[in-house]
Structure 1
Amino acid sequence: MGLVIVNSAVFIVFAASFVRLRTTRDWRSLGAFSAFILALFTEMYGFPLTIYLLSGWLGRQFPGVDFWSHDAGHLLETMFGWRANPHFGLFHLVSNILIFGGFWLLAKSWHVLFKAQHDRRLATSGPYAHVRHPQYVAFVIIMTGFLFQWPTLVTLFMFPILVWFYIRLAKREEAAAQAQFGTAWESYARATPAFIPRSQGHARAANTHSGGPTP
């Protein structure tokens, strides 16, 4: 249980260090991410509920594997036949890239957003030049990275719910931004997708259509 608390605290505090917890939406965003992290590390270092529920099927499909060991808890590595140290397996490497990339995006996004809020203007530079909600995209990327590393039934169930939750928060933020910035927000929203960046060609066409500059 001590490892659960320590590891959860490290990642939650690390994420919180990039977020200016000034509004209720900020706290809700971090709270949803924290719930995912707690569920993940509870199974990783606490009671392995997923292994317990799937023990019969896993035992039949992969005889000889001790699924109660920590290494075997990296289910994707085990199920795809990686029998060496799973921490050096393909899924674990992809996981690390996504997690570190997500935290990098989170840090860049909140830096731009905080400065824009301080200046009472719309955040449109940095990651916000490509998507309207890079901070939520970052949280989803980080959670996806953890799923590659340690998928569990609980986190797989929580993941789509949290994505829906972030979409709801994003829509509420957009309504507030539109009320505050009016036509400036509408022009920005027409030129910039909400969550998935456009290709360079689509971005150029969108800028032209909205009256913005083209590269």
Structure 2
Amino acid sequence: MNHEAQYGYGLWSLVFINSAIFIIFAFSFTKPKTSRDWRSFGAFSGFIVALFTEMYGIPLSIYLLLPWLSARVPGIDFLTHDAGHLPEMIFGWRGNPHWGPFHIASNIMIFGGFLMLSAAWRVLYQAQQRHELATTGLYARMRHPQYVGFALIMLGFLLQWPTILTLAMFPVLVWMYVRLAKAEEREALREFGQEYESYRKRTPAFLPHFVPRDRSAPHPH
């Protein structure tokens, strides 16, 4: 078999095109304005570039893990593109990896994350135009749906194409988003006072209440 014909990397045009598509999508859904917006968007963009660089450019993680991978799953050329879908390879999926369970779950998470960004931005933009607190739509379920959307997209990509660098970046970026969320809350408290305090008490920060609370039910003593 001709290894050169099977080598799935060094495709720098695909690195650029795919990075640009997802970064532009994220920009169109979030439209960053403040320095905080740009920090969160920039961190997400860095994650995307690092991901596609290894997906199509230089498979650094596969080079580093190749001895272990070859021993764990013998008989697979891990320098082909399809074999770069490591969860499918490691857990024994031998069909087209794009139809594997991890890849399908990944696509659902990525698509869902972008839907969250889009839906949250519309609510937030309308509230900002009216100089009001955003408390409807996804903001009625959680206080920071945009950051949850970014995390969901990154988690989806990790499930599809994990790399050492992006796995290391993910917890750092989540920590950064938590810090940015806390900074936003301090500003909202200064601007909206008791209104925001009441909203914060009844609405979780990141993990939503899927079943609305029954406010008429008696409180336990």
* TM-score (normalizing by structure 2): 0.91
Whether 1:94 and 2:94 are equivalent positions in the alignment is no
- Using the alignment, how far apart are the partners of 1:208 and 1:102 within structure 2? 36
Q: Runs (4+) of structure 1 moved beyond 4 Å?
A: 205-209
- Using the alignment, how far apart are the partners of 1:208 and 1:22 within structure 2? 44
Correspondence for 1:213: none
How far off is 1:22 after superposition?
1.4
Q: Partner letter of residue 48 of structure 1? A: P
- Using the alignment, how far apart are the partners of 1:206 and 1:47 within structure 2? 58
How far off is 1:19 after superposition?
1.1
Correspondence for 2:148: 137
Correspondence for 1:183: 194
Q: Partner letter of residue 116 of structure 1? A: A
Deviation by residue 1:76-127 (Cα, 9 ceiling, x = unmatched) = 0000101111000000000010000100010000110011011000000000
- Using the alignment, how far apart are the partners of 2:121 and 2:18 within structure 1? 23
Q: Partner letter of residue 15 of structure 1? A: A
Mapped contact 2:82–2:97 kept (Cα < 8 A): yes
SS at 2:88's partner residue? helix
Whether 1:164 and 2:188 are equivalent positions in the alignment is no
- Using the alignment, how far apart are the partners of 1:138 and 1:153 within structure 2? 22
How far off is 1:197 after superposition?
0.8
- Using the alignment, how far apart are the partners of 2:172 and 2:42 within structure 1? 13
Q: Partner letter of residue 154 of structure 2? A: M
How far off is 1:13 after superposition?
0.3
Task: Indicate which of 24, 28, 44 corresponds to 2:39.
Answer: 28
Which runs of no fewer than 5 residues in structure 1 stay unpaired? 210-215
Task: Indicate which of 117, 140, 146 corresponds to 2:157.
Answer: 146
CA change 1:200–1:9 in 2 (3 A) is same
RMSD of aligned alpha carbons: 1.5
Task: Give % identity.
Answer: 59
Mapped contact 2:144–2:181 kept (Cα < 8 A): yes
Whether 1:44 and 2:48 are equivalent positions in the alignment is no
Please show how residues 107-146 of structure 1 align to structure 2 within 5 Å.
Answer: 107-146=118-157
Whether 1:204 and 2:214 are equivalent positions in the alignment is yes
How far off is 1:64 after superposition?
0.7
SS at 1:81's partner residue? coil
How far off is 1:29 after superposition?
1.0
How far off is 1:20 after superposition?
2.3
* TM-score (normalizing by structure 1): 0.94
Deviation by residue 1:113-161 (Cα, 9 ceiling, x = unmatched) = 0110110000000000000000000000001110111011111000000
How far off is 1:39 after superposition?
0.6
CA change 1:8–1:206 in 2 (3 A) is farther
> When the two structures are aligned, how many residues end up with a matched partner?
208
